[in-house]
Amino acid sequence: AQTVTQSQPEMSVQEAETVTLSCTYDTSENNYYLFWYKQPPSRQMILVIRQEAYKQQNATENRFSVNFQKAAKSFSLKISDSQLGDTAMYFCAFVGGNQGGKLIFGQGTELSVKP
């Protein structure tokens, strides 16, 4: 069975600094996608970034980038130039080719950006 693990329950960062959130996963599949979702205090979950397992190039979306290490089954999220609006719960998620679209989530990391 696939599992997703986020080992940092809470993190904090100063505004304008860079922070990295960790995620590891376990799967026997070769075809899969990984995602980072953000849940601000208002609770609406939104997609931050996604990465295809077959792509070696790390995904980037503006200030958000990932470090995807397929062999190590690691998928970390880097937030550059942190802003107060980045304060949220961040969830790492996995969907495999044999899972019919089912998203499997990690435990979440609560990020606080301090002024």
Partner 1 sequence: DVKVTQSSRYLVKRTGEKVFLECVQDMDHENMFWYRQDPGLGLRLIYFSYDVKMKEKGDIPEGYSVSREKKERFSLILESASTNQTSMYLCASSLTGRLNTEAFFGQGTRLTVV
Interacting span for partner 1 (CB under 8 A) from 18-26, 63-71, 72-80, 105-113: 105-113
Map the footprint of partner 1 across residues 65-94, applying CB under 8 A: 91
Binding of residue 10 to partner 1 (CB under 8 A): no
Among residues 16 and 66, whose Cβ is nearest to partner 1? 66
> Among 32, 36, 68, 75, which residue interacts with partner 1 (rule: CB under 8 A)?
32
Instruction: Provide the terminal-to-terminal Cα distance of the chain, rounded to the nearest Å.
Output: 41
| Beta-carbon count within 10 A of 69 CB | 12
94 with 33: CB under 8 angstroms?
yes
How many whole angstroms separate alpha carbon 23 and alpha carbon 74? 6
Binding of residue 56 to partner 1 (CB under 8 A): no
